[in-house]
A and B are shown apart, each in its own frame.
Chain A
Amino acid sequence: MIMIRSFKLSPVPSTIALLAGLSICILAAGPNARAANSGVQVQLDVKQAAPRQVEALTVRGVARDYRLAWTSMAQALEFNTLDPLVGAFSGDAQQWLGQTVASQQQSHLSRRYTNQTHEVEAVFYAPEGDALELHDTAQYQLQLLDGDKTIDDERVVVHYVVLMTPGADRWVIRQLQAVQQF
């Protein structure tokens, strides 16, 4: 479905700009502090996962790491920094996210993801537990900014196909691909 909408150019109020600047300072002081209170909501349903059943501890780990990954991605794309992506993403996902941040830095654009909710369903769990495919119906407020001007601001619903694999101490996202429908 094509979604077209109009939006009036509006500079970000100075107070918001001030808060954004303050956030950068907080991030610089302690990058992990923000991840803890990101407000990203993740609901993970593993009933349909096959051929292997997802163990309870794995469910908790995947939900935690998926939430952390989205928190990290939101930080990276809002503040145009690669640091939050380290550890949460790998492979192709890490590559295109790195490209995105680099091109945003070049063009002075940024994206702000807020009020995220993710309804995630595990659809495939490899026999040996080394790969997990998720379907995520994500809802969030997405703001696109050119410098301090908002050029688009809308509540979107996006379907993501996600591949995660276990890393040394966490589950990492290797593929994060938006699709029209599952």
Chain B
Amino acid sequence: MMLCTAVCPVFCGAQQLQVPASAVAGQDLNLTTAGSGRGSFYLLGPGISRKTEVDLGEPIDLAGQDLRNAGEYTAVLCAGSCQSARFFVIAAKPSSLTFLVHPSRVPVAQGDAISGVAFSFDPYHNLTRSPLNIRFQLGFKGTALWARTVRTQNGVAWFRANSWKSAGPVQVAASSDQFSTTRVVQQVASDPCNLRITGQHTRTGILVQTEPVHDCAGNVVSDGTVITFTATGADGKATVDAPIKQGVASAQMKSAGPTVISVASGVVMGNEIHLGAQP
């Protein structure tokens, strides 16, 4: 600090600046100055850089609007020499959650298949780091399936959960006392189970068709799932991939002699059928 001992028409030394150790985001703040005459006051922080002329000895009012971003601020008071002080603005009370949930679609009845992460923020989008209890909940058609309360650590809480046994939309919620955020995970049928086919000769070959395709929990497997039919006969092997449409998959295959037809979907095998020669 440089003391001004001479006459100072504009700037007068011996200025002092006092700041609090910390302030809360969005709240007004008063800084105390000492000295006499005029000086330049600077405030630099996240989102703000300002220079104003001030009267030394008078308090400096900082509006909450200027202190919305949590972080470190530097106040500098210059009157011939400069004096600086640093203070922190901490986040205000939590008011919202950023909630990330994965995946958006998940097969039913899978272990640890759904996960979620929640970060707590104040009204000014600052990460709040004070511990907060967050209740994670999975619901299906109005029924609570699973719930757990997790305390945030470093502003974040997370969970993992199994997917439910039924296909359909599952609501995944993260909530605190005063606010809540919900996401939806679409549960879809798992791999086909008990894949069964029937077949018959037609004038142009063999028509094979699955029975309605379900997973092991009885959910209808989604349309578009590919079913692979393989025909093995005297003239070799033929393979047809057919998507499920309205719950069943079918294919027309060319074969005149005795034929063995098998079916599969991914790694799941179904039954085999044996068809004799075409009459």
Contact = CB atoms under 8 A, between A and B. Distances in A.
A178 interface: yes
Given A2-B85, A9-B80, A180-B90, 19 more contacts: A2-B20, A4-B17, A4-B83, A6-B83, A96-B47, A100-B47, A107-B50, A108-B51, A111-B49, A127-B160, A130-B102, A133-B156, A146-B42, A152-B84, A161-B155, A163-B127, A177-B126, A178-B46, A182-B154
B38 interface: no
Interface of A, helix, strand, loop or mixed by DSSP: strand
B48 A3 contact: no
B162 interface: no
A83 interface: no
B88 A109 contact: no
Contacts of A175: 127
A107 B78 contact: no
Interface stretch (B67-75, B176-184, B258-266): B67-75
Contact of B81 (A3, A7, A133, A179): A7
A179 B90 contact: yes
Contacts of B154: 123-124, 133, 135, 161, 182
Nearest to A160: B71
Interface of B: 1-2, 17-22, 40, 42, 44, 46-51, 69-72, 74, 76, 78, 80-88, 90-91, 100, 102-103, 115, 117, 119, 125-127, 129, 153-156, 158, 160
Contact of A177 (B71, B78, B160): B71
Interface in A86-128: 92, 95-97, 99-100, 103-104, 106-109, 111, 123-124, 126-128
A6 B158 contact: no
Contacts of A3: 85-86
A46 interface: no
A152 B74 contact: yes
Main SS of the interface on chain B? strand
Given A9-B78, A180-B90, A99 B84 contact: no
Nearest to A8: B81
A180 B47 CA distance: 18
A180 B100 CA distance: 27
A163 B160 contact: no
Contacts of B17: 4
A100 B85 contact: no
B92 to A, nearest CB: 13
Contact of A126 (B51, B85, B117): B117
A35 interface: no
The 5 closest A-B pairs by CB, nearest first: A6-B1, A178-B72, A96-B47, A99-B47, A127-B115
Contact of B84 (A5, A104, A130): A5
Nearest to B69: A96
A102 to B, nearest CB: 9
A95 B22 CA distance: 23
Interface of A: 1-9, 51, 92, 95-97, 99-100, 103-104, 106-109, 111, 123-124, 126-128, 130-131, 133, 135, 142, 144, 146, 151-152, 154, 156, 158, 161, 163, 175, 177-180, 182
Contacts of A182: 154
Contacts of B91: 177
Query: Which of B76, B86, B91: most chain A CB closer than 10 A?
Result: B86
Contacts of B126: 177
A180 B22 contact: yes
A177 B1 CA distance: 30
A5 B83 contact: yes
Most buried by B among A95, A142, A151, A158: A151
Contacts of A5: 83-85
5 contacts: A51-B160, A96-B46, A127-B115, A177-B70, A180-B22
B94 to A, nearest CB: 14
Contact of B50 (A97, A103, A152): A103
B42 A133 contact: no
A54 B72 CA distance: 29
B42 A100 contact: no
